Amino acid sequence: MSFFSQLRLLLWKNWILQRRRICVSIFEIILPVFFAVLVVLLRSITPVVKFSEPKFYDTEKLPTIFGSYAHPDVMVGYVPETQDTSIVMRNVLEQMEKEKSRWDKQNYTIKGFQTEEIALRFIASNPKSMKHLVVFDGVSDSGKSLPKNIDISIRPYSGSSLWHTESTFPFAQSNSPYTDFSSEMSSRREFHYMQVLVGEALTKYWVQKDGGDPNDVRFEAQSQKMPFPPYISDAMVTVMQIGLPIFLQISFFVSVVINTKNLVYEKERKLKESMKLMGLQASVHWVSWFVTFAIYLIPALALWALLMGINFSSDQPPVLMYSDPSVFFVFLLCYGLALITFCFMVSTFVNKANIGAILAFLLFNWFYAPWFLVSRNYQTLGKWAKLAPALLFNSGAALGAHVIGIYEGTGEGVQWNNFNRPGVVDDNVTLLDVMLILIFDSFIHCVVTWYLDNVRPGEFGVPKPFYFPFMKSYWCGSKPSSNTMYEVDNNDTKHFEKDPTGLTAGIQIAQLKKEFGKKVAVDGISLKMYEGQITVLLGHNGAGKTTTMSMLTGFIPATSGTAQVNGYDIRNDIQGVRQSLGLCPQHNVLFDSLTVKEHLEFFGKVCNEC
């Protein structure tokens, strides 16, 4: 029977099984759609405000007090500590004390350091003691006055992580003007105030050096934001970047649990091994389930992409306002591929359907956990530090959804002409990177599935050695052996019949043994069965007849010894054994949802065609 004939037969079987649990099948499609609709509803209640005119800002006078800190002392350091830099910084301290409010109980101090390296070591050992470090670049303790053309760096306390000086643009972009939060506003105004104080102190220093009166110097600084062009205010961008990864995960967890359980169920009930015994190829088994899962998954993914890209009303844009829905759909297909192969991989770890369902649920959620760490440090992580957690496919999907949100925030959206470029100039991950890593995840899942399915097929089946990928016989097959495995040296002609002459031994059993724990079920049986003869195994219950037949057909592995069937060894070529050997099991091997007629039709076609 050809590959496609076997595939068609298994798809027919899977279709009947799915049809018999129609409610569960419909739920697998409805649940993802439900969460997609939920995102659309969030879109509908999220206001979109269009500003057709540019936004201009008024000037603001900088504060004349040094803001209040949680720490009771405010220290300002400076580098290098020379006579002239100390004069400047004492002027800074005097101005800070002069402008301090009456209820401000903080102690203001300055501290000089010979080198910047010494200052940084001090800050490292006292991380919250210093609020600003003023660095006079290019100044040495040579006794010369400070030049009027001087570069000064003011390094603020970085513990609040508000500055992001390594980035050109914010990662969480939006089309709206940037709004300072209270903590950011306070820190930045304090920084600006320090700029004013240092500038004023330097000017007083130079005026005094030139013979003028430094008391005549008084700075009055103002700040004004840059104008912002016409824009659309839409908070949905933030929802996309934060919420979309979560909605994607919870949309498909039921499908993962159900599909994994279905896979393990056939292994638990001997159905998978029985079909292989009848000649069914292992690859057909996996492909049939892949197609079955995809038939339910692809429509759900398509509806997700469709709902994200449709404009349901004239006054409300779609969820993906700027992105091409087809790009989003291809991203979802990559995720769906990883999701299906993940179910395959998990099914090889366990032998019980219910345990498989629980394990799938736990791993599915655990594969999402690394994303929380990535999202918290996204701006500072390197490319591979972001992509490495994406090897756990749910974290990869979350990364992709976040990247799409970044594209949306720029107002450009993800398109076919930019999905291979980062959404913002400072980012180092593209949507193409995420798609490729999801495909690579699928490849890893398939390799693990292929390997474990061979070395630990479960309770039923003969495991291959761990090094089987390096065996020539696995890839090229093996020729049947014509050698006699053993010769029984037994002169007890009363109880043992002599081997017939002129006949070929189709089955040769040599010292075959099977132990279940400490119980010996078959104790070193040796036997030859010849072509043209009918051989019967007789014995009481528990004598080992069924166990022997199960070892010969590959249902269970032998503890020791071996057997050849038409020259094929049951230890390493069970596929060749099954070409000429069938088995009617002692216990029924049935699908719970198939009728008697469907069982006869299915197994009849399998036996007839395979």
Alpha carbon distances (Å) from 363 to 153, 194, 259, 267, 357:
50, 52, 14, 20, 10
Q: Would you say residue 124 lies in a domain? A: yes
CB 367 within 8 Å of CB 395: yes
pTM given for the model: 0.80
Q: Would you say residue 52 lies in a domain? A: no
Statement to judge: residues 126 and 22 lie in one domain: no
Cα torsion 208, 213, 219, 220 to 10°: value is -170
Eight-class DSSP state of 544 = S
Q: Would you say residue 471 lies in a domain? A: no
d(CA 231, CA 210): 51
Last residue of a domain, one of 185, 202, 229: 229
Q: Would you say residue 55 lies in a domain? A: no
Statement to judge: residues 213 and 237 lie in one domain: no
Ordered mean pLDDT values, 10 residues apiece, the chain (610 residues): 87 92 87 91 83 84 55 81 92 83 71 92 84 88 78 80 67 65 60 87 89 80 82 76 86 93 93 85 93 93 92 82 94 97 97 96 96 89 94 96 88 93 90 98 98 90 89 80 58 71 88 90 89 89 89 88 89 82 78 90 77
Statement to judge: residues 274 and 218 lie in one domain: no
What would the two tokens of residue 230 be? 């016409």
Statement to judge: residues 282 and 184 lie in one domain: no
d(CA 152, CA 136): 5
Between 3-20 and 596-609, two packed helices, what is the crossing angle to 10 degrees? 170
Statement to judge: residues 74 and 223 lie in one domain: yes
Statement to judge: residues 140 and 162 lie in one domain: yes
Q: Would you say residue 39 lies in a domain? A: yes
Instruction: State the residue for tokens 């008084």.
Output: 218
Statement to judge: residues 196 and 296 lie in one domain: no
Q: Where in the sequence is the domain holding 101, given as residue range(s)?
A: 60-229
- Other beta carbons within 10 Å of 15: 12
Per DSSP, what are the bridge partners of residue 135? 79, 153
Q: Would you say residue 384 lies in a domain? A: yes
Statement to judge: residues 155 and 264 lie in one domain: no
d(CA 203, CA 182): 31
Q: What is the predicted pLDDT for the residue at 70? A: 44
The DSSP annotation for 162-228 comes to ---TT-SS-SS--SSPP---HHHHHHHHHHHHHHHHHHHHHHHHHHHHTT--GGG-----EE-PPPB
Eight-class DSSP state of 529 = E
Statement to judge: residues 378 and 399 lie in one domain: yes
Last residue of a domain, one of 196, 229, 262: 229
Last residue of a domain, one of 229, 255, 290: 229
Among 178, 190, 193, 184, which Cα is nearest to 163's?
184
Three-class DSSP category at 391:
helix
Q: Would you say residue 326 lies in a domain? A: yes
Q: Which amino acid is it at 494? A: K
Statement to judge: residues 82 and 224 lie in one domain: yes
Statement to judge: residues 383 and 239 lie in one domain: yes
Q: What is the predicted pLDDT for the residue at 354? A: 95
Give the total number of structural domains in the chain: 3
d(CA 390, CA 380): 17
Statement to judge: residues 382 and 504 lie in one domain: no
Q: What is the predicted pLDDT for the residue at 408? A: 87
Per DSSP, what are the bridge partners of residue 520? 515
Q: Which residues have C-beta within 8 Å of that of residue 125, sequence separation ≥ 6?
A: none
Q: Would you say residue 474 lies in a domain? A: no
Q: Which amino acid is it at 91? A: N
Among 519, 326, 307, which Cα is nearest to 416's?
326
Count the residues in the chain: 610
Eight-class DSSP state of 379 = G
Q: How far is CA 198 from the centre of its chain?
A: 50
Looking up residue 569, the CATH number of its domain turns out to be: 3.40.50.300
Between 3-20 and 22-45, two packed helices, what is the crossing angle to 10 degrees? 80
Q: What is the predicted pLDDT for the residue at 69? A: 44
d(CA 349, CA 449): 9
